[in-house]
Amino acid sequence: QVQLAESGGGLVQPGGSLRLSCAASRNIFAIKVMGWYRQAPGKGRELVARIISGGITDYADAVKDRFTISRDSAKNTIYLQMNSLKPEDTAVYYCNARLIRVVGDGEDDYWGQGTQVTVSS
Average pLDDT score, the chain: 95
How many beta carbons lie within 10 A of that of residue 71, not counting itself?
A: 17
pLDDT in tens, 14-62: 999 999 999 998 888 899 999 999 999 999 999 999 999 888 999 999 9
Pairing state between β 4-7 and 108-111: unpaired
Identify the pLDDT of residue 110.
96
- The residue-averaged pLDDT of 96-114 equals 94
> What pLDDT is recorded for position 54?
86
pLDDT of 92 > 90? The answer is: yes
Give CA–CA dist 60/37, Å, rounded. Answer: 10
In the chain the first and final C-alpha atoms are separated, in Å, by 40
What secondary structure does DSSP assign to 54-115, as a single string?
A: TS-EEE-TTTTTTEEEEEEGGGTEEEEEE-S--GGG-EEEEEEEEEE-STT---EEEE---E
Q: Give the pLDDT band (50/70/90) at residue 111.
A: very high
Q: Kindly report the length of the chain.
A: 121
